[in-house]
Structure 1
């Protein structure tokens, strides 16, 4: 899950595994695999950084 800020200024968590597409229109528009869309205050670059951090947490398992 990644933490994002909606256009109303409230934070919410989004399952990054369900992101299908990200557009800058000029806001950042996220389309999920189920067709639902979210507009967030973060830039596309910030969103990509958050997804990378999230994936690193999952796959950086130490045994």
Structure 2
């Protein structure tokens, strides 16, 4: 396993077998549903002057805490 840096302090940690498998699966994933959503967003965007897509944290959007 390769050693990589994680977190704000860049602590050296080793990837577990699970991390390596998830990274491999994530890189090889096809995102057809998300691509469709982006296309729809881009079409709708043309109808409005000022459009932004932002990520709002659940904690700041009235979401439940886990």
TM-score interval for Structure 1 and Structure 2 normalised by the shorter chain? under 0.3
Which has the larger share of strand? 1
Give the TM-score, by structure 2 length: 0.27
Q: Which structure has the larger Rg over C-alpha atoms?
A: 2
**What TM-score do you get using the length of structure 1 for normalisation?**
0.28
Tell which has more relative contact order, 1 or 2 (C-alpha 8 A, sep 6+).
Answer: 1
Bigger helix share: 2
